[in-house]
Amino acid sequence: MIGEKVIIAGFGGQGVMLMGQLLSYTATANELNTLWFPSYGPETRGGTANCSITISETSVNSPVISTPDSIIIMNLPSLDKFQPKLKKGGHLFLNTSLVKDVVLREDVNVHEVAANDIAFKLGNLKVANMVMLGAYLEVTKLFETEEVLSVLKKKFTGSKAGLIEVNRLALEEGRKAVL
């Protein structure tokens, strides 16, 4: 039975909301129940941003996630805020390009991904979010890359359509990073 509660967190401008939307829209495309709940800091860019996504075969009754199954962490302030909430045995996806030399819980599964470094090698730092999403998808097996890309193609139209390929590469590199 599918049931996943995930929190994605980082600075504004890191694509945190896009990751959450893609998960939620892909769940909807797969006829699953889902809820995406964004939360922004007062700043437009550079402030804090996080979102909660619940995906389930059964009804989703609340946007509040007190104990997530997984967290995707893009920066240190987000690690400090959300690591204590992660359920025992849960999955912590950590962007080690920006978060280094930290104390991590020993009762969770830690997946270290140098997302910014990988994105830089792909020629576009803005796809670090897709690198992290690819790692998440590989570990959780929630959706296939093509399912997420199908949703992304609907979202990225016009001038953004040219970004589909680098996002596909980023998702694939993220998957490889946790193998």
114-172 pLDDT, tens digit each: 999 999 999 999 999 999 999 999 999 999 999 999 999 999 999 999 999 999 999 99
Q: What is the pLDDT of residue 170?
A: 98
Q: What is the pLDDT of residue 43?
A: 60
Task: Note the pTM of the prediction, 2 decimals.
Answer: 0.95
Q: How far apart are CA 151 and CA 159, in angstroms?
A: 16
Q: Which residues contact 150 (CB under 8 A, 6 or more apart)?
A: 26, 29
Q: What is the domain partition of the chain in residue ranges?
A: 3-177
- Rounded to the nearest integer, the mean pLDDT of the chain is 94
pLDDT over 90, % of the chain: 89
- Of 46-50, 91-95, 106-110, least confident by mean pLDDT is 46-50
Look up the CATH superfamily of 3-177. Answer: Pyruvate-ferredoxin oxidoreductase, PFOR, domain III (3.40.920.10)
* DSSP label of 34: E
Q: Which residues contact 127 (CB under 8 A, 6 or more apart)?
A: 15, 119, 166, 167, 169, 170
> What are the helix (H) ranges across 141-178?
145-155, 164-177
